[in-house]
Amino acid sequence: MTAVTTSKTQQKAWAKAIADPAQEFPLTPLSVLSGAIPSDLQGSLYRNGPGRLERQGQRVGHWFDGDGAVLAVHFADGQAEATYRYVRSAGYVDEEQAEAFLYSGYGSLAPGPFWQRWSSQLKNAGNTSVLALPNGILALWEGGWPHRLDAKTLETQEVDALGKLQADEPYSAHPKRHPQTGDIFNFGMVAGANATLNIYRSDVSGRIDRKQSIPLNGIPLVHDFVLADRYLVFCVPPIRLNPLPAVLGFQSFSDALMWQPKHGTQLVVVDADTLEVISSEAVDPWYQWHFGKGFVNNDGDIVLEVVRYENFATNQQLKEIATGQYDTPALGQLYRICVDPETATVRAEECLVAHHCEFPYVPADQPTVTAPTFLSLDPPNRDNTGELFRAIARFDPDTAKLTVAETGLERYPSEPIYVPKQNATTSSGWVLTVIYDGSAHQSELWIYDSDRLEDEPVCRLHLPSVIPHSFHGTWRSRATG
């Protein structure tokens, strides 16, 4: 693995959070820095992200390749305790014992000459997201099987095939729960001369009960999808893998991906009951990592939210972030797109949030049509050059109002997670975000009132060690287990 260096004088404060490997800690009561823990906050917050980007002076080649580490914060009776642990994947255990990188990743190559990389395994980093199930939680990474963890202690228990996954069938990092049935939908990309999109439907326990395979053209990159009532929508961006350099070990998977806008973005509409394709059509090109809400409007059309990029420069930016600084700009904007399910054509589109944003999160306890969308955001009217997100925001569809909560100088929030208030008479809740404070070099958990996001957080909790910038999280209610 090639060493990556960067000029420390040009780094922003966020870089200190990923400069050194994260330090685990056992279940520890959390101290309150300000405010008070809401008494109705009963359950657990889980967050997953790359905890280790470096070994023996060598750094991974892409932010996506850091070893996964999960934070759990358990709330009960006005108190909170937390633990933070690495996902004990087979690759992580081997590299811990060797004290060196051994495997290739999404954007990293295994050490040694290229001919030794032909047979090199891809490390399952387990670093992207978390799915809470009745009998544990799953640490997810889109290139392999999930790792099952103990919901309380985060002890890694096993790699889980969910009853039906075959050896070459990955389970991606963005499953969706149907709000009425509780069914869980997800997918996995199976590589070959052309890729196959596997779609999975699971019961509430996570066990897969239905699977369907859809052939695609070339080998694209699909990271997320939309569940809209009786439809699943996949937006396949015009990214194609140049397979030979990747197979021969000359390039990483990330570096071998090519932006080819001539193909357009292919919309694939799937029946959520049968998992059969209803329609497919190429539209104007864009790239996306994440989607917000999806629903069917009164005309029978699918309405979806997507954080849209003009091209694939975002991948290069995320690669550079692993070095502690980045120079490549990439603007993601929240769009609303209306799609005819019978033809997969775009009827209308509108930019909802023009500021750079990501990580849309939609409350599950409210009607999707009227529910707000919470986001990570670049603060308006600030110099955001080379910075990570320094604000969270709420977009209300009825009024098109964007409410912004800036976290302050050198304070970097994670994806905002919404938690409904118990016994509330209106649709309101709490918003939880993990903050890295670069000036103090410490991490905190901030709790906001979702209806008063512009106010100070109602509670700030001190975390025992620095939590590196993470990707995705979830909430598991104590009442529902």
pLDDT at 116: 65
Paired tokens of 192: 């070959």
Each residue's pLDDT tens digit, 208-232: 999 999 999 999 999 999 999 999 9
Residue 435 bridge partners (DSSP): 413, 444
CA distance readout (Å), 313 to 6, 60, 141: 20, 19, 22
Q: Is the pLDDT of residue 5 over 80?
A: no
C-alpha angle 16-35-47 in degrees, rounded to nearest 5: 45
CA distance readout (Å), 48 to 45, 101, 234, 323, 467: 10, 21, 24, 20, 10
From the number of C-beta atoms within 10 Å of its C-beta (0-12, 13-18, 19+), residue 7 rates as: exposed
Classify 9 as helix, strand or coil: helix
CA distance readout (Å), 143 to 169, 242, 322: 8, 18, 19
pTM: 0.96
Q: Where do we find the tokens 């080649």? A: 61
pLDDT at 1: 52
Candidates 2.170.120.20, 2.130.10.10, 3.30.70.100, 2.60.120.10; correct CATH number of 8-477? Answer: 2.130.10.10
Mean pLDDT of the 140-155 span: 98
Classify 316 as helix, strand or coil: helix
Give the strands of the sheet with 302-309, arranged side by side: 287-296, 302-309, 333-340, 345-353
Contacts of 435 (CB under 8 A, 6+ apart): 407, 411, 412, 413, 414, 443, 444, 445, 446
What sign does the CA torsion over 394, 395, 400, 406 have?
A: positive
User: Which is more confident, 193 or 181?
Assistant: 181
Under 8 Å between Cβ of 103 and 121: yes
Domain definitions of the chain by residue range: 8-477
End-to-end CA distance of the chain: 42
Paired tokens of 169: 């069938």
Q: What share of the chain is helix, strand, coil (3-state, %, to 5)?
A: 10, 45, 50
CA–CA separation, 413 and 338 (whole Å)? 31
- Other CB atoms within 10 A of residue 14 CB: 22
pLDDT at 389: 98
Phi, psi dihedral angles at 157 (to 5 degrees) = -105, -45
Fill in the DSSP letter of residue 122: B
> How much of the chain, in percent, has pLDDT values that exceed 90?
89
Mean pLDDT of the 25-40 span: 98
Classify 321 as helix, strand or coil: helix
Q: Is the pLDDT of residue 480 over 60?
A: no
Each residue's pLDDT tens digit, 257-312: 999 999 999 999 999 999 999 999 999 999 999 999 999 999 999 999 999 999 99
Under 8 Å between Cβ of 468 and 68: no
Q: What's the half-sphere exposure (Cβ side, CA atoms, 13 Å) at 407?
A: 31
Each residue's pLDDT tens digit, 105-115: 999 998 876 65
Contacts of 227 (CB under 8 A, 6+ apart): 176, 178, 185, 272, 294
pLDDT at 120: 67
DSSP per residue, 231-255: EEEEEE-SEEE-HHHHHHTSS-TTT
Buried b (16+ CB within 10 A) or exposed e, 215-243: ebebbbbbbbbbbbeebbbbbbbbbbbee
Mean pLDDT of the 112-139 span: 85
Each residue's pLDDT tens digit, 76-108: 999 999 999 999 999 999 999 999 999 999 999
Each residue's pLDDT tens digit, 353-378: 999 999 999 999 899 999 999 999 99
Classify 260 as helix, strand or coil: coil
Q: Is the pLDDT of residue 7 over 60?
A: no
Each residue's pLDDT tens digit, 393-451: 999 999 999 999 999 999 999 999 999 998 766 779 999 999 999 999 999 999 999 99
Q: Which of 312, 332, 319 is nearest to 259 (CA)?
A: 312
CA–CA separation, 391 and 401 (whole Å)? 16
Residue 412 bridge partners (DSSP): 436
